[in-house]
Structure 1
Amino acid sequence: MEASTSQMQTFGQTEINWDKLDKTKFYVVGAGIFTGVTVALYPVSVVKTRLQVASKDTVEKSAVSVIRGLLRTDGIPGLYRGFGTVITGAIPARVIFLTALETTKVTAFRMIEPFKLSEPTQAAIANGIAGMTASLLSQAVFVPIDVISQKLMVQGYSGHAKYSGGLDVARKVLKSDGIRGLYRGFGLSVMTYSPSSAVWWASYGSSQRVIWRFLGHGTDLKEAAAPDTWKIVSVQAAGGIIAGATASCITTPLDTIKTRLQVMGHEKRPSTRQVVKNLIADDGWKGLYKGLGPRFFSMSAWGTSMILSYEYLKRLCVKE
Structure 2
Amino acid sequence: MSSVQAGVQSLGRTEINWDKLDKTKFYVVGAGLFTGVTVALYPISVVKTRMQVVSKEVAERSAVSIVKNVLKTDGIPGLYRGFGTVITGAIPARIIFLTSLETIKAASFKLIEPFKFSEPTQAAIANGMGGMTASLLSQAIFVPIDVVSQKLMVQGYSGYARYTGGLDVARKAIKADGIRGLYRGFGLSVLVYSPSSAVWWASYGSSQRIIWNFLGHGKDQAEYRPSPWMLSCVQGAGGLIAGATASIITTPLDTIKTRLQVMDNRNRETGRDVIKRLIAEDGWKGFYRGLGPRFMSMSTWGTSMILAYEYLKRSCAKDDGV
Q: Provide TM-score, normalisation by structure 2.
A: 0.95
Mapping of residues 152-191 of structure 1, within 5 Å: 152-191=152-191
Contact in 2 for aligned 1:243/1:303 (Cα 8 Å) = yes
Range with greater deviation from structure 2 (54-63 or 182-191): 54-63
**Structure 2, gaps ≥5 residues long:** none
Q: CA deviation at 1:12?
A: 5.4
Q: CA deviation at 1:60?
A: 6.8
Does 1:65 find its partner at 2:65?
yes
Contact in 2 for aligned 1:120/1:205 (Cα 8 Å) = yes
Structure 2 CA distance for aligned equivalents of residues 113 and 59 of structure 1: 50
User: What secondary structure does 1:225 align onto?
Assistant: coil
2:145 alignment counterpart: 145
Range with greater deviation from structure 2 (97-106 or 224-233): 224-233
Count of equivalent residues: 319
Structure 2 CA distance for aligned equivalents of residues 174 and 6 of structure 1: 52
Q: CA deviation at 1:58?
A: 2.4
Mapping of residues 178-257 of structure 1, within 5 Å: 178-218=178-218, 221=220, 224-257=223-256
Residues 264-303 of structure 1: CA distance to partner in whole angstroms, max 9, x if unpaired? 1122221111101101111110000000000000000000
Mapping of residues 17-56 of structure 1, within 5 Å: 17-56=17-56
1:91 alignment counterpart: 91
Q: CA deviation at 1:146?
A: 0.3
2:263 alignment counterpart: 264
Residues 171-201 of structure 1: CA distance to partner in whole angstroms, max 9, x if unpaired? 1111111100000000000000000000000
Amino acid corresponding to residue 153 of structure 1 in structure 2: M
2:121 alignment counterpart: 121
Change (3 A) 1:294 1:169: same
2:304 alignment counterpart: 305
Structure 2 CA distance for aligned equivalents of residues 12 and 118 of structure 1: 19
2:135 alignment counterpart: 135
User: What secondary structure does 2:144 align onto?
Assistant: helix
Contact in 2 for aligned 1:7/1:213 (Cα 8 Å) = no
Change (3 A) 1:288 1:133: same
Structure 2 CA distance for aligned equivalents of residues 4 and 141 of structure 1: 33
1:111 alignment counterpart: 111
Does 1:292 find its partner at 2:291?
yes
Q: CA deviation at 1:6?
A: 7.3
Contact in 2 for aligned 1:279/1:285 (Cα 8 Å) = yes
Contact in 2 for aligned 1:97/1:137 (Cα 8 Å) = yes
Amino acid corresponding to residue 127 of structure 1 in structure 2: N
Structure 1 CA distance for aligned equivalents of residues 181 and 193 of structure 2: 19
Structure 2 CA distance for aligned equivalents of residues 93 and 313 of structure 1: 17
Contact in 1 for aligned 2:71/2:78 (Cα 8 Å) = yes
Contact in 2 for aligned 1:11/1:209 (Cα 8 Å) = no
User: What secondary structure does 2:266 align onto?
Assistant: helix
Structure 2 CA distance for aligned equivalents of residues 186 and 223 of structure 1: 44
Contact in 2 for aligned 1:8/1:218 (Cα 8 Å) = no
Structure 2 CA distance for aligned equivalents of residues 5 and 92 of structure 1: 31
Q: CA deviation at 1:41?
A: 0.2
User: What secondary structure does 2:58 align onto?
Assistant: coil
Q: What's the Cα RMSD here? A: 1.9
Amino acid corresponding to residue 178 of structure 2 in structure 1: G
Structure 2 CA distance for aligned equivalents of residues 245 and 222 of structure 1: 30
User: What secondary structure does 1:26 align onto?
Assistant: helix
User: What secondary structure does 2:212 align onto?
Assistant: helix
Contact in 2 for aligned 1:148/1:166 (Cα 8 Å) = yes
1:318 alignment counterpart: 317
Change (3 A) 1:280 1:195: same
Quote the sequence identity (%).
74
Residues 80-114 of structure 1: CA distance to partner in whole angstroms, max 9, x if unpaired? 00000000000110000000000000000000000
